[in-house]
Structure 1
Amino acid sequence: MATVWTIPIDITSRWLDNAEVQTFLASNDLDNASPDPRVRFAQFADVTKSLERHIGHTFSSVQGAATALFDGIEGGVPVALKLAALRLILKEVYQTRHAPQPFPKRVGEELGTYVYALLDPRNRSVFYVGTGRGTRVYGYVWEALAENEHRQTLEDPDTDGAEVKAATIARIREIFDSGHEVEHYIVAHRVADSGGVADAVRDGVVGALGLNEGAELANLAAGVGEHRAVPVDDLVLQYAAEPVPNLPTPCVVLEVPAASRRGVTSEQVYELSRGAWAAGAAVRNTDDIPVIVFADNIVRAAYRAKSWSSVARPGDASLWRFTGESDTELESQFVNKRIVPAKVGLKKWPTHGWVPHLTQARPGR
């Protein structure tokens, strides 16, 4: 357990709601504070701006935090306001140093050459973008945490200069010291050795910048699409997963992209999966029809539909929502396994996500 002073990403709202701050603004008789409310408000505004400038920063001592936050403010900061700010950002943390594990060799083969980004979870900012093969995405974190055994799995050399390397490692150690962990994203993979490389790198940079909350990129005006950055863990799951066995006939295969969101619960996956779907009579009239739910080509859940109810939408009476139950036998066969369009006789998944599999011949309704 360690004590640190970290400015969180939601510091502004927490600062405005802080009882000590409200007392400072409302009281005219505080020690070392001006009796003029206009002066106190100006001091409050200065500290607010300083806190916002330092979002994501972590300090290992109260002196370091105070120096960074208050020393540059003209006219000084009253003691009451300093204490309010320092108490608000005080945090006791377990300085976890869980190093990521090397992923299987076949995952590296599937990824090929890739562009990756390291993200600071304290302020959701990308602080490093690099390229590599194999487990290079973890290289700097392993070096920062002195995981020398893991570093031996690296296939390609480190090409960064000393200054870049030092700054990256320092940032990583600061993140871990604050009780957080670096987030790793693959923003473009299977980059060809020749031809299309410039486009792939461009897409990678766009994807990395798009991780920043509030990013306004013209490239993303039409939606995330091909520029979506993917957490490394998700790609490892996708490429290391075994293929699904033969699907039951009949069944329904549903693509529910939100089912792969980090932190999503099984209850949320079920609600997301229920629909509305363009379920034809052949599906609705099949008792206990299996429903296989996937996202990013990985099966996330398996149910048996017990009933279907019409979803009332203006001008469209053909959409249906199912009510079902999890099926442990189906889950053991399919969940966390890889499914591809060819498994149901398709070249690619339809954009609407609805794939009935009623016969071995081809999908139906």
Structure 2
Amino acid sequence: MPVDVRIPGEVAAVLRYYVYALRDPRDGKVFYVGKGIGDRINAHVREAGADPVSERAKLRTINEIEAAGQDVDLLFLRTGIEDENDAFMVEQSIIDAFAADGHKLTNLVRGHESGRYGLASLPAVVARYKAEPCPPIPYPVIMLKIQNGWRADMNEREVYEKTRGHWKIAPWVREEAQYALGIAYGIVRGAYRIDSWFPSEMPWDRGKNRWGFVGESAPELADTVGTQVRDVFPNQVMYRRFLSGYGRPSVDADPSHSN
């Protein structure tokens, strides 16, 4: 049975808000980070038997630990935090630090306001606050919306893999497009020279005529990365657009705009 060490009121008064972690004693790895006040750190173990759908991954881990005859390690990461907003920020920073290292937690969300202030690469942060208009592009280019699944902390290789496919691309566009830009939330995240196209072999793409490209980073378009092209996608339905050159008359890669 887990040892239930309650936090006395006088201790809670000193702790104020705090950020804590739950650690699995079987492998020594943290599996959950949270913030709380009072006796919150103990609540997860007491809730484990209830197993609510919203927190099944965390509570399942707790149940597995107890079934193995061990207790969850309850760790304070920072105490004496004066207000809840500061506690949220500390919690988010720790969650993001684990994410940056590839450590998977059971937290359902990455933290309070993580999309606005959280884990992000240097180019993504600069583009978030100061994205200049994209300079003219004198080449046939296809712009591909990659924001579904895009993360602000993606590295260059991940952006390339996300941009290269797979897409519904008409034959004439595959012949004419020389470059591809990966676009997320109106910002150019990567620019690539297209060397060749290949049909998707993914099972879920079977019969859908989707294509991917093989290419490499385009240094001649390096000045476009981090700039904004919000005028290219005037609605939420469009997810790719072929242009004979940015700033020139454009042609849709597939008039249906279907996925």
Q: Following superposition of structure 1 onto structure 2, how do residues 154-233 of structure 1 map, counting pairs within 5 Å?
A: 170-175=83-88, 180=93, 213=108, 231=116
Candidates 20, 25, 28, aligned match of 1:7: 20
What is aligned with 2:12? none
What is aligned with 2:241? 355
Aligned partner letter, 1:294 = I
Query: What SS is found at the alignment partner of 2:251?
Result: coil
1:311 has 2:197 as partner: no
Deviation at 1:239, TM superposition (A): 5.4
* Partner Cα distance (1:254, 1:68) in 2: 45
- Does the CA contact (< 8 Å) of 1:260 and 1:296 recur in 2? no
1:270 has 2:160 as partner: yes
* Partner Cα distance (1:176, 1:68) in 2: 18
- Does the CA contact (< 8 Å) of 1:58 and 1:178 recur in 2? no
What is aligned with 1:293? 182
1:18 has 2:25 as partner: yes
Q: Classify 1:58/1:285 alpha carbon distance in 2 versus 1 (closer, same or farther; 3 Å).
A: same
* Partner Cα distance (1:256, 1:68) in 2: 39
* Partner Cα distance (1:229, 1:178) in 2: 10
Alignment deviations for residues 171-217 of structure 1 (CA, whole Å, 9 cap, x no partner)? 2344567794799xxxxxxxxxxxxxxxxxxxxxxxxxxxx948xxx
Aligned partner letter, 2:75 = L
What is aligned with 1:89? 74
* Partner Cα distance (1:319, 1:89) in 2: 49
Q: Classify 1:178/1:272 alpha carbon distance in 2 versus 1 (closer, same or farther; 3 Å).
A: closer
Deviation at 1:270, TM superposition (A): 1.3
Which one has more relative contact order, counting CA pairs under 8 Å at least 6 apart? 2
Candidates 31, 34, 37, aligned match of 1:56: 34
Deviation at 1:302, TM superposition (A): 0.4
Corresponding residue pairs, total: 186
Candidates 318, 325, 329, aligned match of 2:216: 325
Q: Classify 1:175/1:69 alpha carbon distance in 2 versus 1 (closer, same or farther; 3 Å).
A: same
Q: Following superposition of structure 1 onto structure 2, how do residues 35-184 of structure 1 map, counting pairs within 5 Å?
A: 56-57=34-35, 69=42, 85=72, 88-90=73-75, 170-175=83-88, 180=93
What is aligned with 2:14? none
Query: What SS is found at the alignment partner of 1:268?
Result: helix
What is aligned with 2:101? none
Structure 2 residue ranges without an equivalent (≥5)? 1-17, 47-65, 97-106, 119-123, 254-259
- Does the CA contact (< 8 Å) of 1:258 and 1:272 recur in 2? no
Aligned partner letter, 1:314 = R
Deviation at 1:280, TM superposition (A): 2.1
Query: What SS is found at the alignment partner of 2:133?
Result: coil
Deviation at 1:247, TM superposition (A): 2.4
What is aligned with 1:248? 138
* Partner Cα distance (1:309, 1:68) in 2: 52
What is aligned with 1:138? none
Deviation at 1:278, TM superposition (A): 1.9
Aligned partner letter, 1:274 = R
Higher strand share: 2
Alignment deviations for residues 120-143 of structure 1 (CA, whole Å, 9 cap, x no partner)? xxxxxxxxxxxxxxxxxxxxxxxx
Identity fraction in percent: 23
Aligned partner letter, 1:172 = N
Deviation at 1:311, TM superposition (A): 1.8
Q: TM-score, normalised by structure 1?
A: 0.41
Q: Classify 1:330/1:69 alpha carbon distance in 2 versus 1 (closer, same or farther; 3 Å).
A: same
Deviation at 1:314, TM superposition (A): 3.2
Q: Classify 1:278/1:336 alpha carbon distance in 2 versus 1 (closer, same or farther; 3 Å).
A: same
Query: What SS is found at the alignment partner of 1:282?
Result: helix
Alignment deviations for residues 139-190 of structure 1 (CA, whole Å, 9 cap, x no partner)? xxxxx9xxxxxxxxxxxxxxxxxxxxxxxx512344567794799xxxxxxx
Deviation at 1:265, TM superposition (A): 2.1
Deviation at 1:352, TM superposition (A): 4.4
Aligned partner letter, 2:227 = K
Query: What SS is found at the alignment partner of 1:231?
Result: helix
What is aligned with 1:279? 169
Aligned partner letter, 1:273 = T
Query: What SS is found at the alignment partner of 2:220?
Result: helix
Query: Quick check: which has more Rg, 1 or 2?
Result: 1
Higher helix share: 1
Deviation at 1:282, TM superposition (A): 2.6
Structure 1 residue ranges without an equivalent (≥5)? 21-51, 74-80, 96-143, 145-168, 184-211, 215-227
Q: Classify 1:280/1:239 alpha carbon distance in 2 versus 1 (closer, same or farther; 3 Å).
A: same
C-alpha RMSD of matched pairs (Å) = 4.5
